[in-house]
Amino acid sequence: MGAPGLTSFCDAESLQENPDVSVCYADAKQEILDECESVWKQMEECQRKLKGLQTGALPKSNPKLSLSIMRMKALAAEYNQWQKRSPEMISTNPNILLPLGKKKLQEVKDDLENVLSSVQLKNKTLEEDLKREQKWYEEQKQLTDTLSITEEETRKQVEQVSKKRAFREQKMKISQLKVYKKKLLTALGEFLEEHFPSPEKGGSAEKKNSQEEPVVELKPLQVILEILIDKSMSTPHEPYISIDDSFWPPYMELLLRHGIAQRHPENPDKMRLENFHG
């Protein structure tokens, strides 16, 4: 089937002189519709011929089955014809295809521009969302940093308060121990003064007979015990004291015999307070 020409309304020269192809597009559309009408008439003719083939006498045994078989054969023949045909363009006239192609390209361009606009709008929305999320993240980070600083300061304050409280408690305990120690020493002094009086000044008779040697003042038992206690507390790694003439031998023997003090294993002139807490 040949396509009619468009020399009367849309030739190549008129397309070059007039860039606007809207008129040519309308004429091309009308021409394609005319071609479609011609193809439709040909199809109606084929249908009429097929119906003429089916007007033969049908067997009286089963006319519906025979009619169905004939229709099936006709449809199979038509199907085979369509399978053998290759797709054809309705028109091969370039004066028709050019405006149609331009129109289609314009539609595709419009669609792409719409898609681009939609994508740009979506990107803008995503950028705004990203900025909000970043702002929210910065705010949360600042809040977290502030809370961390506050927590650290609070922890230091609690530690300081705990240290101060512990220091006050230790100080109070030390004060109580000092008071208790003073009471014990007072009670010990009263007990020793009553039961273990201070030895007479001047020491033994042998030293009184010696006019050249100075008189040594003997230490009371309370003083000896205080010296032993202070030495044991101040230097527990070296608790021994040196024994000189001011230590009255009977008191020293008393402390050693009753297990209150003990001599140095290598130096008998040194002694220490017994390790009662060990």
Is residue 85 in a domain?
yes
Structure tokens at 204: 């033994």
* Residue 113 pLDDT exceeds 90: yes
Tell me which of 60, 92, 124 is where a domain ends. Answer: 92
Whether residue 175 is contained in a domain is answered as no
The least confident of 59-63, 97-101, 210-214, 255-259 is: 210-214
Structural domain harbouring 71: 12-92
Which of 92, 122, 154 terminates a domain? The answer is 92
Residue 40, in any domain of the structure: yes
Q: Is residue 221 domain-resident?
A: yes
Whether 187 maps to a domain, the answer reads no
What is the distance between the alpha carbons of residues 25 and 102, in angstroms, rounded to a whole number?
Answer: 9
Kindly state whether residue 140 falls inside one of the protein's structural domains. Answer: no
CA 167 to chain centre: 40
Q: Which two tokens stand for residue 200?
A: 């007479």
Residue listed under structure tokens 């199979």: 76
- Residue 16: the pLDDT is 44
> 3-state SS string over 41-66?
HHHHHHHHHHHHHCCCCCCCCCHHHH
Domain assignment present for 179: no
Residue 54 maps to a domain: yes
Q: What is the pLDDT of residue 12?
A: 42
CA distances from 67 to 52, 79, 161 (A): 13, 18, 109
| pLDDT at residue 20 is higher than 70 | no
Between 23 and 217, the higher pLDDT residue: 217
Q: Assign 266 to helix, strand or coil.
A: coil
Q: E strands within the chain?
A: 241-242, 261-263, 270-273
Contact between residue 221 and residue 249 where contact means Cβ atoms under 8 Å apart:
no
Mean pLDDT for the stretch of residues 18-30: 61
Domain boundary among 62, 92, 122: 92
Q: What is the largest CA-CA distance in the chain?
A: 180
Query: Using 50, 70 and 90 to split pLDDT, how confident is the model at 139?
Result: very high
Domains contained in the chain, number: 2
pTM exceeds 0.85: no
